């Protein structure tokens, strides 16, 4: 059996843990830009129909009493990684699905349900929902159901199609084209879609989308793989006395950099974090994603210095920590005696780090597809992701 743990308003609960003063306040979490947009929210603004992507002004009209917090994406992702790390005590077969609005975790276990719920409630101070089923997709829908009906919803084996039948067809992971065409064909629920003959579905939407028809019938072949936590290299130094001399901090940083690069042992890191504990009790977290992976000490030191000087320190430093994350092996390349690999391939090698640096931007390729003679240009091709 598969359990899907659904944590609604994940970012808001992280903000509340980091700042207990926000505990009972409705929260609007907005992007750090000139025209802030809502990226996440707490329960009350969600009930007042505030959606992600709304401008702050629009959101404040709907919920004027909400406290506005600037999003700290790094902190949310670290909290999520920490939660996954802790959940490994239940099972090592985990599959994360992170979004600031709602985070879902699939676990290949159905025992210890109550312990699991209690554990997450204690960690995040919010009550998660749990959906249990034999199939991944049904477990996810059951978890969303449990969010309103009660903390746990179990779908018995063999009754997946029956459970899904009444849900709107939009619940399925439809393509844009299917989302437009299915209502035109009069299909509004998953049950109606499941009742269609497979051949008819194939003819309408092609072989590639057949798996959606199978999902509607409660058939889901996807399984949960063993989860390997992302590796993080960290080095911490605690000063005997609080320090406000940049030269001493630089000297310590240089020593830490030498150690970290030695530990990297030829691998590459995609993200650098500098954590400073100040004498007044506050903690500064500075992050950067360099445009090239970190693999040598000069490059790392330059970025750490830039981080350090960017921030005006208000007090002396008590403790300093450097973290390297998103560590991966450099991609092996076929050595050639005669010519270099084509430039297109070399750019594809850069795409994972580019993707890490620009998480909402995707590199795509246009693939021409067969369409009718009168189809508009936008229906004559599909965009296919390149790289990750």
Partner 1 sequence: MVDSKATSQAAAQAAASRAALNDILLDIQRKHGHRTIHLANALATDGALLPSGVATLDDLLGGGFLRRKLNMLVSQPTSGAMSLVFNLIANAQKRDEVVVFIDMQAALDAPYAGQCGVDLKRLFIVTPETDTQALELVRDLAATNIVSLIILDGLADIRSLRRLRQSIAAFRTTLLLISQRPAEAAQLQLGVSCANWLYQHQHIIGCQIQARLLRHPNQASGSEVTFPLYFASGSDGDDD
List of residues contacting partner 1 (CB under 8 A): 33, 291-292, 298, 302, 342-344, 346-347, 350, 354, 357-358, 360-368, 377, 380-381, 383, 386
On whether the CB atoms of residues 81 and 105 are closer than 8 A, the answer is no
Minimum gap (Å) between residue 365 Cβ and partner 1: 6
- Looking at beta carbons only, is 89 or 302 nearer to partner 1? 302
- Looking at beta carbons only, is 82 or 365 nearer to partner 1? 365
- Looking at beta carbons only, is 43 or 354 nearer to partner 1? 354
On whether the CB atoms of residues 109 and 90 are closer than 8 A, the answer is yes
Residue 76: its H or E element:
helix 73-87
- Looking at beta carbons only, is 19 or 380 nearer to partner 1? 380
Minimum gap (Å) between residue 272 Cβ and partner 1: 16
Minimum gap (Å) between residue 11 Cβ and partner 1: 19
Minimum gap (Å) between residue 291 Cβ and partner 1: 5
d(CA 1, CA 157): 9
Minimum gap (Å) between residue 379 Cβ and partner 1: 10
- Looking at beta carbons only, is 335 or 368 nearer to partner 1? 368
Give Cα separations from 327 to 76, 266, 267, 322, 388 (angstroms). 19, 10, 7, 14, 15
Side-by-side strand order, sheet with 268-278: 233-243, 317-328, 268-278, 283-288
- Looking at beta carbons only, is 122 or 340 nearer to partner 1? 340
- Looking at beta carbons only, is 35 or 221 nearer to partner 1? 35
Minimum gap (Å) between residue 51 Cβ and partner 1: 16
| Nearest alpha-carbon partner for 193 in 210, 176, 177, 208 | 210
d(CA 1, CA 257): 45
Q: At what angle do helices 176-184 and 198-205 cross, to 10 degrees?
A: 120
Minimum gap (Å) between residue 301 Cβ and partner 1: 10
- Looking at beta carbons only, is 70 or 364 nearer to partner 1? 364
Sign of CA dihedral 286, 292, 294, 297: negative
d(CA 280, CA 24): 26
Minimum gap (Å) between residue 44 Cβ and partner 1: 27
Give Cα separations from 78 to 72, 155, 160, 174, 381 (angstroms). 10, 32, 34, 30, 38
On whether the CB atoms of residues 93 and 224 are closer than 8 A, the answer is yes
């Amino acid at each position: 059996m598969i359990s899907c743990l659904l944590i609604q308003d994940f970012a808001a609960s992280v903000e509340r843990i980091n700042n207990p003063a926000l505990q009972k306040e409705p929260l609007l979490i907005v992007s750090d830009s000139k025209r802030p947009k809502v990226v996440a929210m707490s329960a009350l603004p969600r009930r007042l129909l505030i959606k992600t992507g709304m401008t702050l002004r629009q959101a404040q009209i709907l919920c004027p009493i909400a406290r506005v917090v600037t999003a700290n994406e790094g902190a949310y992702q670290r909290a999520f990684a920490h939660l996954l790390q802790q959940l490994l005590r239940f099972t090592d077969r985990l599959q994360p699905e992170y979004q600031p609005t709602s985070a879902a975790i699939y676990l290949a276990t159905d025992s210890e349900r109550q312990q699991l719920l209690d554990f997450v409630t204690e960690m995040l101070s919010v009550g998660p929902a749990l959906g249990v089923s034999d199939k991944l997709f049904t477990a996810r829908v059951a978890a969303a159901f449990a969010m309103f009906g009660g903390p746990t919803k179990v779908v018995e084996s063999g009754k997946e199609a029956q459970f899904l039948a009444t849900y709107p067809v939009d619940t399925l992971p439809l393509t844009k084209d299917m989302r437009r065409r299915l209502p035109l064909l009069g299909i509004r629920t998953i049950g109606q879609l499941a009742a269609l003959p497979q051949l008819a579905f194939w003819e309408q939407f092609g072989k590639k989308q057949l798996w959606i028809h199978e999902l509607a019938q409660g058939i889901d072949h996807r399984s949960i793989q063993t989860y390997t936590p992302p590796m993080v290299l960290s080095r911490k130094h605690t000063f005997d006395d609080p320090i406000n001399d940049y030269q001493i901090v630089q000297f310590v940083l240089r020593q830490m950099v030498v150690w970290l690069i030695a530990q990297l042992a030829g691998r590459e890191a995609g993200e650098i974090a500098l954590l400073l504990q100040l004498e007044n009790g506050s903690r500064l977290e500075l992050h950067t994603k360099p445009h090239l992976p970190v693999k040598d000490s000069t490059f790392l030191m330059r970025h750490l210095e830039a981080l350090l000087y960017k921030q005006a320190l208000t007090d002396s430093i008590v403790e300093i920590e450097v973290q390297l994350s998103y560590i991966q092996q450099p991609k092996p390349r076929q050595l050639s005696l005669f010519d270099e690999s084509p430039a297109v391939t070399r750019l594809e090698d850069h795409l994972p780090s580019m993707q890490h640096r620009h998480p909402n931007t995707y590199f795509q390729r246009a693939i021409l597809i067969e369409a009718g003679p009168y189809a508009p240009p936008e229906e004559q091709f599909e965009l296919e992701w390149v790289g990750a």
